[in-house]
């Protein structure tokens, strides 16, 4: 379970990224976080794995106080909470399978990625992860030869290889064409349903959020203004979420 209790985040310039957030997200949920640009979506997602430190309140994941983690404990925790970014964060000049295997060895030196010194078990784990997202046939191709959608699926496979309980995705389909975006969202849905992984996606494509998620959390000016099943996220609710009030600045910080 992910639990926010009275969580706030105030940036050094005084901007309030999160304003007294109270949420509970159960294991196995597929949650889409929506809202206008600057509303606080990325801040909320990135607080869960301590890419952003909260200012006030309590944030726990499976009863672990996230704010208390340091050093090795924090690194180990982040392996249980996988993160997929819009920019893929892959090593472009090595093969797909080496990118995926890099997730299997904590703090692995970069030279080991380049040389490909992995065990047979690590190779099989990587291939299985690539198969789950339908891209195993690209395993031995250099990553920079893939399309954007294929690279995002490699990123997802790499995260799956570390066997996290939670998958966080920060605008994972923002840079993709509509057809490819649908394919990537289908991958997230299959992983959620087949492996019972908790999935939280920060997404600006409302139609994709409504199609693939089970639960919608809407954020506006750092506050949760809607939290409920997709069926209850009506046109009236959406109109309120995306009204033209000024949002939170510098959300991606």
Structure confidence at residue 128 (pLDDT): 94
Q: Please say whether the dihedral angle defined by the alpha carbons of residues 91, 94, 96 and 101, taken in this order, is positive or negative.
A: negative
Structure confidence at residue 113 (pLDDT): 58
**CA pair distance 81, 17, nearest whole angstrom:** 21
For the chain, the average pLDDT equals: 90
66-125 pLDDT tens trace: 999 999 899 889 989 999 988 888 988 889 998 998 887 765 666 665 666 778 888 999
Q: Please say whether the dihedral angle defined by the alpha carbons of residues 101, 64, 55 and 26, taken in this order, is positive or negative.
A: positive
Instruction: Walk me through the domains of the chain, giving residue ranges and CATH numbers.
Output: 2-241 (3.40.50.300)
pLDDT band at 244 (very low <50, low <70, confident <90, very high): low
**CA pair distance 20, 31, nearest whole angstrom:** 19
What mean pLDDT do residues 30-35 have?
Answer: 96
pLDDT band at 3 (very low <50, low <70, confident <90, very high): very high
What mean pLDDT do residues 178-189 have?
Answer: 93
Residues 154 and 90: beta-carbon distance below 8 Å:
yes
Residue carrying the six token digits 């000024």: 246
Whole-model pTM: value is 0.88
What mean pLDDT do residues 193-199 have?
Answer: 94
Structure confidence at residue 247 (pLDDT): 43
Structure confidence at residue 159 (pLDDT): 93
Give start and end residues of each alpha helix (H) in the chain. 41-48, 71-80, 96-101, 110-115, 120-132, 148-161, 178-195, 206-212, 235-241
Structure confidence at residue 156 (pLDDT): 94
Structure confidence at residue 114 (pLDDT): 64
Structure confidence at residue 172 (pLDDT): 93
Structure confidence at residue 119 (pLDDT): 81
Q: Which of 196, 178, 176, 171 is nearest to 85 (CA)?
A: 171
Say whether pLDDT at 187 is over 90.
yes
Q: Which of 68, 42, 197 is nearest to 132 (CA)?
A: 197
* Exposure string over 11-44, b if 16+ CB within 10 A, otherwise e: eeeebbbbbebebebeeebbbbbbbbebbbbbbb
What mean pLDDT do residues 203-222 have?
Answer: 95
33-66 pLDDT tens trace: 999 988 999 999 999 999 999 999 999 999 999 9
Structure confidence at residue 91 (pLDDT): 87
């Amino acid at each position: 379970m992910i639990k926010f209790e009275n969580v706030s985040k105030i940036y050094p310039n005084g901007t309030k990224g999160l304003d007294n957030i109270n949420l509970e997200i159960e294991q196995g949920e597929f949650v889409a976080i929506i809202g206008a640009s600057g509303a606080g979506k990325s801040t909320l997602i990135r607080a869960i794995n301590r890419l952003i430190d909260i200012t006030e309140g309590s944030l726990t994941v499976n009863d672990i106080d996230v704010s208390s983690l340091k050093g090795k404990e924090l690194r180990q925790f982040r392996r249980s909470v996988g993160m997929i970014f819009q920019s893929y964060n892959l090593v472009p000049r090595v093969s797909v399978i080496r990118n995926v295997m890099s997730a299997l060895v904590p703090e692995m030196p970069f030279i080991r990625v380049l040389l490909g010194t992995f065990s047979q078990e690590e190779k099989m784990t990587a291939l299985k992860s690539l198969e789950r997202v339908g891209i195993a046939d690209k395993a031995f191709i250099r990553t920079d030869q893939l399309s954007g959608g294929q690279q995002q699926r490699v990123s997802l496979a790499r995260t799956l290889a570390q066997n996290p309980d939670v998958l966080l995705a920060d605008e994972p389909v923002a840079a993709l064409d509509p057809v490819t975006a649908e394919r990537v969202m289908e991958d997230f849905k299959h992983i959620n349903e087949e492996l019972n992984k908790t999935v939280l996606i920060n997404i600006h494509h409302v139609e994709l959020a409504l199609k693939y998620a089970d639960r919608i959390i809407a954020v506006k000016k750092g506050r949760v203004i809607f939290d409920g099943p997709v069926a209850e996220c009506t046109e009236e609710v959406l109109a309120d979420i995306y009204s033209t009030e000024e949002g939170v600045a510098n959300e991606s910080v």
